[in-house]
Amino acid sequence: MLNFGTFVSGSIWMMLLDGLKFTVLYTVSGFIIALGVGFVIAQCQISANAVLNKLAWLYLLWFRSTPLLIQLVLMFYGLPILFGIETKAWVVGVISMGLYSGSYVSQVIRGAIVSIDKGQMEAGRSLGYTRLQVMIKIILPQAVRRALAPLTNEFISLTKNSSLLSVITVVELFRQADVIISTNYRTLEVYLMAALLYFVLNNAIGVLGNMMEKATKTGEELA
């Protein structure tokens, strides 16, 4: 029989909410890294430089072909062994999430950029702008609008993947749930409560993403 009586205690909810706070913090930090990495990889892919193309291909090949869990463990335990670098679990976790998610974000950004009419780049260059200036002032503002929906989905996916940080002892929502279970032994009840918090958080992100998407749509897109 399920027994949620233990959740009357405010201390349990405070522990779960504290874990949720760190889940949000680590996910946002990882996603910021992912956006930067994704933009760089996308630019390498659409570049005419064959070396940059190859480097981007190798990056994507590795990070999209191996699980995030393996990447976390390799970085957390591998860096001290191979290079003598002292690692902090949460730092490794955030960087690993950023590098992993960046491989998927790069494809969203690349797809959004190449969907913009090439004539806009040519028109911007004819006005005396550099390629970078055209990209920042003309192409990217339009690409961002088109990328919002898939980027929201990737952010939600990263939020769920953040639970893997518990494997390298990072304290977040799933880790806190395990700590609570070790004291009250109500496994199913605690995991259900944790799942509810993930559910609320990810749906809130989805709603916020939809609001941003509608707010940035042009008249032509709304027609």
Q: Which pLDDT score, from 0 to 100, does residue 7 have?
A: 64
Give the closest residue to 23 by CA, choosing from 191, 184, 213, 177: 177
Condensed to tens digits (0 to 9), the pLDDT of residues 79-100 reads: 999 888 888 999 999 999 999 9
Helices 140-161 & 10-46, crossing angle to 10 degrees? 140
pLDDT band of residue 204 (cuts 50, 70, 90) is: very high
Condensed to tens digits (0 to 9), the pLDDT of residues 158-195 reads: 999 999 999 999 999 999 999 999 988 888 889 999 99
Against a cut of 0.85, is the pTM above it? Answer: yes
Structure tokens given for 49: 């430089």
Query: For residue 101, which amino acid is it?
Result: S
Taking 80 as the threshold, does the pLDDT of residue 3 lie above it? no
List Cβ neighbours of 75 (8 Å cut-off, separation of 6 or more). Answer: 87, 92, 95, 96
Taking 50 as the threshold, does the pLDDT of residue 222 lie above it? no
Q: Which pLDDT score, from 0 to 100, does residue 137 have?
A: 84
Mean pLDDT in the chain? 90
Rounded distance, CA 186 to CA 180, Å? 8
For the chain, which domains are there? Answer: 5-222 (1.10.3720.10)
For residue 112, give Cα distances in angstroms to 47, 105, 108, 214. Answer: 15, 11, 6, 17
* Percent of the chain with pLDDT strictly greater than 70: 93
Taking 70 as the threshold, does the pLDDT of residue 113 lie above it? yes
Q: Which pLDDT score, from 0 to 100, does residue 8 have?
A: 59
pLDDT band of residue 119 (cuts 50, 70, 90) is: confident
Q: Which pLDDT score, from 0 to 100, does residue 19 have?
A: 96
Condensed to tens digits (0 to 9), the pLDDT of residues 123-165 reads: 888 888 888 888 888 888 888 888 999 999 999 999 999 999 9
